[in-house]
Structure 1
Amino acid sequence: MMNRYSIDEFVKKTQQEDKGEGMFELETPRLLEVNLDGKVWAKAGSMISYRGQIKFEREGVFEHGLGRMMKKVFSGEGASLMKAEGDGKLYLADQGKKISILNLDNDAIFVNGNDLLAFEPAIKWDIKLMKKISGMLAGGLFNVKLEGTGMAAITSHYEPLTLLVSPESPVYTDPNATIAWSGGLQPEFVTDVSFKTFIGRGSGESIQMKFAGNGFVVVQPFEEVYYTES
């Protein structure tokens, strides 16, 4: 593939293009355009460019109540959000990860705190800590529950894969590769001592997430290490 262009050719090939798809548009597979006319929540530090009159503000400590603030303290910086407000075009990205736009229609979905890029303000959200594993994983593991109607953007390393879950066929995943799952599922954590012995002590793959019931789970072909095993 040719990667050598004149200046005019390069500008034409890479310039911003309005697609008329709504508030969230994929400008490229790894760059989200937000057509802002009001407010949007986005991952702190994800802004790469904007035009227009947009004001950025870190999420206030008490903006969503003391309970959620306390959970943020224990969940670390991965769930830190910023509020962008105004009128213009906002461009978001996260370490070159692939972006998927979800249209929630009175739905609920859990997203790994590291993989949530942005969502519309009409969507209700809350941080969920997985306390059952606090003694197993240093730093714990947390996710964000999104619920309602509106658009949300999630990220993944490379192409995501969605696996359907049924009562007859539970799904097991590596926590480091798990991006999201449907709102009706409550994962539990299981350990496989024989598997741990086989692959060597200290590997995260000895701890697995088990999904049982009716729904789906989204994984990525990449192990994003955000915890260490104690």
Structure 2
Amino acid sequence: MNGPVIHDAWTLPVDDNINPYAFSVDLNGQWFLQKGKMVAYYGQIDFHGVGLGHLDHLIAYSFHSPLHAADWVVAEGQGKMVLADRAFDVNSYDLDDGNLSIRSGNLLAFQPSLSLKQSIVPGFLTLIGTGKFVAASNGPVVFMEPPIRVDPQALVGWADCPTPCHHYDHQYLRGFLGAIRSRTGIGGASGEEHQFEFVGAGTVLLQSTEQVVAEISVGETGGTGS
């Protein structure tokens, strides 16, 4: 009878998935890491808050999102880090002189060769440059080509294409209820009534559910309790 696979520092994969829900980072230097996403590590690794003195040069080059500075740390040293996020699917992606915007709750970690900026779309961050990043999704990611309209809750991000615009279904805007919604923004939350519209060249990343990977405070489990 076959038992579970037991890993150690030498058998963990190098910058690859351990299983669909956990990723092993081979650290030899520095990575940016969202707080609460490291579940274990081997080796000599220190974790520094964004803004620590000796990391000023690194922060100035790679981190340009003051709204999210408190949510991130720099992992520095040598070893293996295991990343995971509430049993969501976890994958790595490579940017080659690229530009990718991603929902802030989905981004787990990225190499300092990439530059992180705040997207003009609320709730999203933008990675620019060349390097690897790790992200979570609620179910497998589907890659789509514009022009396309997508449910905002299923949207993980978009790469190398223009920022989306809002599209509202005609029925959503008709009648008295539609007028109230158009003025107040109340109601009409389904993807059938409201979508993000992408045009031009590039790639759109969708998760296979309409449940957003929500941001949670560090130390919370995300459970409902008993």
TM-score by length of 2: 0.75
Deviation at 1:61, TM superposition (A): 8.4
Deviation at 1:209, TM superposition (A): 0.6
Give 5+ residue unaligned stretches, structure 1: 131-140
Which residue type is aligned with residue 135 of structure 2?
Answer: I
Mapping of 1:121-140 within 5 angstroms?
121-130=112-121
Is 1:171–1:212's contact at 8 Å kept on the other side of the alignment? Answer: yes
Q: How many residues align?
A: 195
Render the CA deviation track for 1:170-216: whole Å, top value 9, x for unaligned.
21111111001113321111222515879x94534333111011111
Deviation at 1:58, TM superposition (A): 2.6
Identity %: 25
Mapping of 1:48-67 within 5 angstroms?
48-60=39-51, 64=59
2:68 is paired with a residue whose SS is helix
- Whether 1:112 and 2:108 are equivalent positions in the alignment is no
Provide the residue aligned with 1:213 in structure 2: 200
Which residue type is aligned with residue 139 of structure 2?
Answer: Y
Render the CA deviation track for 1:9-31: whole Å, top value 9, x for unaligned.
434x2435344x5xx21111110
Which residue type is aligned with residue 203 of structure 1?
Answer: A
* 1: CA distance, partners of 2:39 / 2:66: 29
TM-score by length of 1: 0.74
Is 2:138–2:209's contact at 8 Å kept on the other side of the alignment? Answer: yes
Deviation at 1:108, TM superposition (A): 1.5
* 2: CA distance, partners of 1:69 / 1:214: 26
- Note closer, same or farther for the CA distance 1:46–1:70 as it changes in structure 2 (3 Å cut): closer
Supply the RMSD in Å over aligned alpha carbons.
2.8
* 2: CA distance, partners of 1:223 / 1:44: 24
Which residue among 76, 84, 87 is the counterpart of 2:75?
A: 84
* 1: CA distance, partners of 2:35 / 2:190: 27
